[in-house]
Amino acid sequence: MLPNFLNKPDGGRGWASLFIMQGFEVYIVDQTSRGRSAWRPDDGAPGLTTSSVEVIQQRFTAPQDYKLWPQAVNHTQWPGTGRMGDPIFDAFYSSNVQYVNNDTYQQATMQVSGADLLDHIGSPAILI
């Protein structure tokens, strides 16, 4: 998901750019067992999965069309249609990578890894 934080799907500035422009020191990190932080079976993590087109549309890019929660109808910020076949959606979807589908495991390993990284950096920073 690294590219998702550098720029928005429509090419606009993402979170990292905005924080850097405000003078913050920013580190964009991969989740444990995801992206460049490769999954290893001997780490104890469950296997990897990916999000389907439908899940991405329902949860991120076009939730107003699925109404899975009351506020979903207010989702108006996604550029384009938010659906497969739209160039912005297709670019976003192609940037997604496999992940460990276990929130408890991800939270625990990211908390330890993030704290270790901040200790190593030794100064205040924003981790994305």
SS3 content of the chain, % helix, strand, coil (to 5): 45, 10, 45
Q: What's the confidence (pLDDT) of residue 4?
A: 64
Mean pLDDT of 33-44: 75
Percent of the chain past pLDDT 70, that is, above it, reads 97
Q: What is the pLDDT of residue 32?
A: 85
Cβ neighbours around 3 below 10 Å, total: 16
Region 38-67: what's the mean pLDDT?
A: 88
Q: Estimate to the nearest angstrom the gap between the alpha carbon of 62 and the chain centroid.
A: 16
Residues 63-118 have pLDDT tens digits of 999 999 999 999 988 999 999 999 999 988 988 888 888 889 889 999 999 999 99
For residue 54, pLDDT over 90 is answered with yes
Name the pTM for this structure.
Answer: 0.71
